[in-house]
Every structure is written in structure tokens, then in C-alpha cells.
């Protein structure tokens, strides 16, 4: 029963944080959302910081699995699936990305952990691009590849903020699929014609 209540608190918190923004949600509102007393909530979590930290643990576990890209031959289809799942995970924990700098400022203990995620995003992008280069389907110098990977990480990390700011009056219009498309557009110019056509065809589904 204790675990069930704890999980209800976490799921309700995630939903409220995503809908309203973490800074706009109090522990009292979380307790009201699942019809428990504030004392019951504090029995499981001493502060909102504890809730945010555990939700971050969830996020880190889920995105960590995706970023563990093996050093094997990777296809354009594989990259598309990787990006799709990556943006799905970001959408699930969008409260982190909608106000990233301020969230990390309020919870400084999460800053080094998120920095490691940034590094892992870069490493995953590098492994994908290196695989493409080894197969001869991507033509780019070391410096170009490095810049491309940085651009991919930048787009993946900040696309949700851009989308949100672009649709302040219609949050339902926010579509992370456009983020997938933008990353595809970054990679496409470096691909050989056949693979670029495949990528462009996939990208049409996001427009």
C-alpha cells in the first residue's frame, strides 16, 4: 500500500509538472490531485525536491537505455527510430526541458547529472555518425562531424523550449515530431543520394 501511494504521488506530480510547469505546482496541489492529506504526502516525500529527484531518476533510467548506442553498423532507419524514441522520452518528462535552465538552477544537485546526459547524447550521435562514415554513406570531415553532433545535441535538448515558445497560445499545437525532422535535415546534406532520399521520405511524415 505504501508503494502504491508513493507511485501515485510520483505519477500525479509528473502529470502536473508537465501540464503547469514544475515551479507552478506545490506539494499541497499534488496531495489534492490524488485526494490524500499533506501529511500522507510528506510521509513519503519530505519535500518537492525529493519528488523532482525521483522523477529525474526515472528520466535518467529511460533516456540512459536509449543513449547506450552499441558500436555496430547503424542504418538510416535505426537513426530515425533512435530519434523518435528520444523525443518521446523528452515529451514524457517535458517539465525538465520546458524550463531547463531554471529547473536546474532550483535543483543544483541535478546539474552534473544532466551534464552527463548531454555528454551521452553527444557520444550517441558520434557513434551513429561514425557508423555512417564507416559504411561510406556519410561524407564529412572530423571537424564537420563534431559540429554536426553538437548541432544534433543542441536541437534535441532545446527543441521543446522552441516549440513551446512558438505556440504559447496553443500548447496542443506543440509537436516534437518537428524536432525529429529538424535533426534529419541536419544530417541529410552529408548523406549520399540514396540514403538522403530515404531520410527525406521519412521526414515527410513529420511535416
The whole-number mean pLDDT for each consecutive block of 10 residues of the chain, a chain of 207 residues, reads: 84 95 95 95 95 97 93 87 92 92 95 97 95 93 96 94 79 77 90 82 71
The pLDDT of residue 45 is 95
pTM attached to this predicted model: 0.90
Give the per-residue SS3 of the chain: CHHHHHHHHHHHHHHHHHHHCHHHCCHHHHHHHCCCCHHHHHHHCCCHHHHHHHHHHHHHHHHHHHHCCCCCCCCHHHHHHHHHHHHHHHHHCHHHHHCHHHHHHHCHHHHHHHHHHHHHHHHHHHHHHHHHHHHCCECCCHHHHHHHHHHHHHHHHHHHHHHHHHCCCCHHHCCCHHHHHHHHHHHHHHECHHHHHHHHHHHHHHC
Domain final residue, candidates 30, 46, 62? 46
Domain of residue 30, residue span: 1-46
The pLDDT of residue 178 is 85
Domain final residue, candidates 15, 30, 46? 46
96, 188: one domain: yes
29, 65: one domain: no
Residue 34 sits in a domain whose CATH number is: 1.10.10.60
Could you give the number of structural domains in the chain? 2
91, 33: one domain: no
86, 130: one domain: yes
109, 164: one domain: yes
The pLDDT of residue 97 is 93
60, 36: one domain: no
82, 24: one domain: no
77, 165: one domain: yes
151, 183: one domain: yes
92, 194: one domain: yes
The pLDDT of residue 76 is 86
Amino acid at each position: 500500500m505504501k508503494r502504491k501511494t508513493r507511485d501515485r504521488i510520483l505519477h500525479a506530480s509528473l502529470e502536473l509538472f508537465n501540464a503547469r510547469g514544475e515551479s507552478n505546482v506545490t506539494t499541497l496541489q499534488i496531495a489534492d490531485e490524488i485526494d490524500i492529506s499533506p501529511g500522507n504526502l510528506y510521509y513519503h516525500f519530505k519535500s518537492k525536491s525529493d519528488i523532482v529527484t525521483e522523477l529525474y531518476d526515472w528520466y535518467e533510467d529511460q533516456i540512459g537505455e536509449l543513449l547506450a548506442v552499441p558500436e555496430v553498423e547503424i542504418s538510416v532507419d535505426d537513426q530515425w527510430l533512435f530519434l523518435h524514441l528520444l523525443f518521446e522520452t523528452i515529451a514524457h518528462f517535458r517539465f525538465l526541458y520546458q524550463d531547463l535552465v531554471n529547473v536546474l538552477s532550483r535543483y543544483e544537485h541535478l546539474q552534473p547529472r544532466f551534464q552527463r546526459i548531454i555528454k551521452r547524447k553527444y557520444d550517441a550521435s558520434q557513434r551513429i555518425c561514425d557508423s555512417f562514415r564507416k559504411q561510406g554513406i556519410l561524407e564529412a570531415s572530423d571537424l564537420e562531424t563534431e559540429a554536426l553532433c553538437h548541432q544534433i545535441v543542441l536541437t534535441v535538448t532545446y527543441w521543446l523550449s522552441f516549440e513551446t515558445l512558438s505556440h504559447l497560445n496553443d500548447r496542443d499545437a506543440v509537436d516534437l515530431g518537428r524536432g525529429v525532422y529538424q535533426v534529419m535535415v541536419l544530417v541529410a546534406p552529408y548523406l549520399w543520394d540514396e540514403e538522403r532520399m530515404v531520410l527525406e521520405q521519412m521526414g515527410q511524415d513529420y511535416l
